[in-house]
């Protein structure tokens, strides 16, 4: 993740918001070991996101965001009750400079802290809690999309 995107994540208080979600959903001892991707996919559909599942890799690929820009793709990994959002910003050329970014939300937190490890992903023990987590993470995802769009328009942070 380059410094421009680190600044963008700082601007939207990404770290603080993600850690608040993690602090609310961190009961690792009681996490749901083998979540049903069909149930999770239905929850995601209810939240307004088209998706497709990859059961082999325990992931759901999000096919849209609220702005329908196609600029930011999102993959959610579900394993041992963890909800791991992984976003990918496609390559763009702005003023002859390439901007690429791809990161899990927890890795982005590590980069903001300047550490290589440490931040976990939120966990859920039932599908009601999974929905709570997904609502919060999708809100954060949409903030990221907004910030990226602003960045792309203005080429500044």
Tens digit of each residue's pLDDT (9 = 90 or more) over 70-128: 566 677 878 767 787 777 665 454 555 555 556 677 777 777 777 666 678 888 999 99
Residue with tokens 């749901």: 32
For the record, the structure tokens of 142 come out as: 């949409």
Taking only the tens place, the pLDDT of each residue in 126-151 is 999 999 999 998 898 888 888 877 77
The total of other beta-carbon atoms located within 10 Å of residue 149's CB is 15
CA distance 140 to 6: 15
Q: How far apart are CA 142 and CA 47, in angstroms?
A: 12
Cα–Cα dist 92/101, whole Å: 10
Count Cβ neighbours within 10 Å for each residue of 110-120 and write b for 16 or more, e otherwise: bbbeeeeeebe
Polymer length in residues for the chain: 157
pTM of the model: 0.81
């Amino acid at each position: 993740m380059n410094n421009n995107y680190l600044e963008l994540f700082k601007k939207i208080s990404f770290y603080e918001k993600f850690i608040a979600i993690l602090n609310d959903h961190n009961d690792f001892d009681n996490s749901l070991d083998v979540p049903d991707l069909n149930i999770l996919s239905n929850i995601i559909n209810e939240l307004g996101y088209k998706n497709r599942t990859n059961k082999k890799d325990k992931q759901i690929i999000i096919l849209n965001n609220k702005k329908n820009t196609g600029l930011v793709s999102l993959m959610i990994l579900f394993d041992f009750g963890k909800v791991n959002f992984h976003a990918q910003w496609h390559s763009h050329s702005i003023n002859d400079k390439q901007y690429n970014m791809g990161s899990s939300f927890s890795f982005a937190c590590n980069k903001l802290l300047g550490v290589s490890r440490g931040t976990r992903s939120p966990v859920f023990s039932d599908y009601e809690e999974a929905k709570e987590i997904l609502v919060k993470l999708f809100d954060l995802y949409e903030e990221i999309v907004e910030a990226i769009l602003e960045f792309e328009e203005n080429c500044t942070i």
